[in-house]
Amino acid sequence: MRYISTRGTAPSLSFEEAMLTGLARDGGLYVPQEVPTLGHAQIAAMAGKSYEDVAFDVMRPFIGDTFTDAVFRKLIAQAYAGFGHAARAPLVQLDSNHFLLELFHGPTLAFKDFAMQLIGQMFQAALTRSGDRVTIVGATSGDTGSAAIEAFRGLKAVDVFIMYPHGRVSEVQRRQMTTPTESNVHALAVDGDFDDCQAAVKDMFNDFAFREEVKLAGVNSINWGRVLAQVVYYFTAAVSLGAPHRAVSFTVPTGNFGDIFAGYIAKKMGLPIADLVVATNRNDILHRTLQTGAYTKEGVEPTISPSMDIQVSSNFERALFDAYGRDGAAVASQMEDLKKGGFEISQGAYQMLKDTFKSGRASEEETQAAIKAYLANHGELLCPHTAVGVHVAEAHLGTTPMVTLATAHPAKFPDAVKAASGIAAPLPPRMADLYDRPERVTRVGNDLAAIQAVIKERIQN
Ligand SMILES: Cc1ncc(COP(=O)(O)O)c(C=O)c1O
Ligand SMILES: N[C@@H](CCOP(=O)(O)O)C(=O)O
C-alpha cells in the first residue's frame, strides 16, 4: 500500500513514512493510492466482534508491513484499554430510526481519543524501532490538542507543542492541555483563531530547514493515521444496525472534515452507507460550499460549539482530490486560490461532492434548543457539537437508520451546556480535581517566527 499526495508532486510513501511525515512536501495531504475494499462476507463477519477485532480487520489492509499482525493487534489493544466503556463506541437509540454514536468514552472525553490513542502507540513503536526522535506540532480548537497531549505525555522520543486560539476553547479543554506536568508537552496560547494555528502548522511543514532541524511530525488530521483510525467506528455502528444487509446513514458534526472523510472512506471500502450528512455550526463554509459550489472564506465567528469554529477545512482537500478525478494539479491550483479568499469548484467535481455529501447548519439558537429538547424528550444531555449534529440530522431522517456522531462529552463544555439545559454535567471522577491543578502555558503572538523560536528553545535534546 502506497500513499500519494493530493497535490500530485511529492514522492509516494509507505504507511509508516506517511504517518511520521505529516504534510507532503508539495503541501498536500497523503491519501492511499487505492482504497482497499471489504466484501459482504467480511463485513457480515464483524457482527458480534469486539471493537478491537473490527479495528484490526478495517485498518490492516492500509498499514502494509509497518507492523506485524501480532504487534498491530497489541497496539490496538493498548490504545483502547483505557476507555471507559466496554463497547468503546456504544450506540444509544433516540427514536425508532435515530441513534447516537457515543465517541466520548476515551481519556479526554472526545472522539479524537479514538485516533490519538492509537497514533500514540504507533509512533512509540515505530520510533523505538528506529531510535529516532520527533517534534510534534499541532493546532487545535480544543479537542485534538487535549487528546494529543494525553496520548504523548511522558514519551521519551517525542516533544509535543500544541497551539490553541487564546480565549476560544472551553475551560475544560484548556485545562486538559495546560495541566499535564510532563516536560515533553507544551501548550501554546496563540493570539489568533484556529485557522491561524492550523496555517502555522502547515507553514512549519513548508519551511524545510525548520522541518529537518526539529524533525517535524504532525498529529492533526493532516496525518492519514488519524483519519484511518476513525473509519473503524463507522463499521462497528453500521454492523450493529444490520449492515451489510441494510444501509445506514450518518450525520457528522464537521469542522476540519476529518471525521466525515473517515465515513467517506468507510463507504468506499464497501460499507453500505446511504447518506453522509455534514453538520456545521454558524461557521457554515462547508454547508455553503455543498449548496453553491463556491468555497468562499468569511471570518470565523466564535460559537458555543468552539471545536468547529473553522473556515479553512483541511481535509476538504482530500475530498476535492477525489472529486477532481485525483488530479493533483487541479487541487494545487484551487488551494492557491483559497489563499486569496476562495475558489469555484468545477461542475463535474461539484456534482461528485453533491452526490456524496448532504449538509445542513445549526444556528446558535437551534443548537441551544436541541440541547434542551433532547434532554427533555430523550433524557440525553448533549455537548453543543453533538447538538448541531442532531439538529441537522432531523432534517434528513427517513426510513434508513440515521446515526449522529456524539463527538464530545457534555462535561467538556459546561458553560454552554448549563446555559442551554440548566444542568452542569459533572466531570468523571478521575478528572474531578482538574480545576485545582496548576496550569502551564506560553502565550504567543500570531507570528510564525516567534512560535518557531519557542519550539526550538524548548525541544529536549
Ligand atoms: C467535539 C468535536 N466535534 C466535531 C468536530 C469536527 O470534526 P472534524 O474536524 O473532523 O470535522 C471537532 C473537531 O475536530 C470536535 O472537537
Ligand atoms: N476540532 C479540532 C480541530 C483540529 O482538527 P484535526 O482533526 O485536523 O486535528 C480540534 O478539536 O482541535
Burial tier of 181 (Cβ tally within 10 Å: 0-12, 13-18, 19+):
exposed
Per-residue pLDDT tens digits for 15-36? 999 999 999 999 999 999 999 9
Say which residues have a Cβ less than 8 Å from residue 220's Cβ, sequence separation at least 6. 22, 138, 139, 144, 198, 201, 226, 256, 314
Instruction: Tell me 91's DSSP state.
Output: E
Q: Residues 49, 74, 112, 267: which is the catalytic one?
A: 112
Cα-flanking dihedrals φ and ψ of residue 401, to 5°?
Answer: -60, 135
Mean pLDDT of 327-331: 98
Instruction: Tell me 302's DSSP state.
Output: P
Q: What pLDDT was estimated at residue 206?
A: 96
How does residue 424 score in pLDDT terms, banded at 50, 70 and 90?
confident
* Biggest CA pair distance of the chain: 58
- CA triple 222-309-275, angle to 5 deg: 70
66 and 371 Cβ atoms separated by less than 8 Å: no
Q: Ligand 2: which atom is nearest the Cα of residue 138?
A: 9
Q: How far is the CA of 235 from the centre of ligand 1 (A)?
A: 19
Q: How far is the CA of 131 from the centre of ligand 2 (A)?
A: 29
Q: What pLDDT was estimated at residue 7?
A: 98
Per-residue pLDDT tens digits for 39-81? 999 999 999 999 999 999 999 999 999 999 999 999 999 999 9
Mean pLDDT of 301-320: 96
Residue type present at position 26: D
Per-residue pLDDT tens digits for 191-233? 999 999 999 999 999 999 999 999 999 999 999 999 999 999 9
**pLDDT(342) > 70:** yes
Cell of 421: 439545559
Look at the block and give the residue holding cell 473490527: 54
**pLDDT(460) > 80:** no
Give percent above pLDDT 90 in the chain: 99
Q: What pLDDT was estimated at residue 65?
A: 96
Q: How far is the CA of 70 from the centre of ligand 2 (A)?
A: 31
Could you tell me if the CB of 221 is within 6 A of ligand 2?
Answer: yes
Pocket residue to mutate for ligand 2, from 141, 168, 195, 201, most atoms within 8 A of Cβ = 141
Per-residue pLDDT tens digits for 254-277? 999 999 999 999 999 999 999 999
Pocket residue to mutate for ligand 1, from 103, 172, 201, 256, most atoms within 8 A of Cβ = 256
Look at the block and give the residue holding cell 487535549: 146
* Residues recorded for the chain: 461
Mean pLDDT of 286-310: 96
- Among 120, 118, 112, 88, which residue's Cα sits nearest to residue 102? 88
Per-residue pLDDT tens digits for 144-161? 999 999 999 999 999 999
Sign of torsion over alpha carbons 303, 111, 202, 186 = positive
Q: Ligand 2: which atom is nearest the Cα of residue 173?
A: 11
Domains and CATH numbers, the chain: 87-107+225-421 (3.40.50.1100)
- Among 24, 308, 39, which residue's Cα sits nearest to residue 165? 308
- CA triple 281-340-356, angle to 5 deg: 45
Ligand nearest to the CA of 382: 1
Residue 206 CA: distances (Å) to CA of 26, 102, 149: 8, 37, 24
Residue type present at position 183: S
How does residue 353 score in pLDDT terms, banded at 50, 70 and 90?
very high
**pLDDT(461) > 70:** no
Ramachandran region of residue 258, left (φ > 0), alpha (ψ -120 to 50) or beta?
Answer: alpha
Return d(Cα 378, Cα 388) in angstroms, integer: 16
Could you tell me if the CB of 146 is within 6 A of ligand 1?
Answer: no
Q: What pLDDT was estimated at residue 285?
A: 97
Could you tell me if the CB of 108 is within 6 A of ligand 2?
Answer: no
Is 112 annotated as catalytic?
A: yes
How does residue 164 score in pLDDT terms, banded at 50, 70 and 90?
very high
Q: Ligand 1: which atom is nearest the Cα of residue 221?
A: 10
Q: Which residue has the CA at smallest separation from atom 8 of ligand 2?
A: 221
Return d(Cα 383, Cα 6) in angstroms, integer: 33
Residue type present at position 328: G
Cell of 171: 475551560
What's the helix, strand, coil split of the chain in %, to 5? 45, 15, 35
Mean pLDDT of 100-115: 98
Could you tell me if the CB of 452 is within 6 A of ligand 2?
Answer: no
Q: Which residue has the CA at smallest separation from atom 7 of ligand 2?
A: 221
Bond before 244 cis per omega within 30 degrees: yes
Ligand nearest to the CA of 385: 1
Could you tell me if the CB of 144 is within 6 A of ligand 2?
Answer: yes
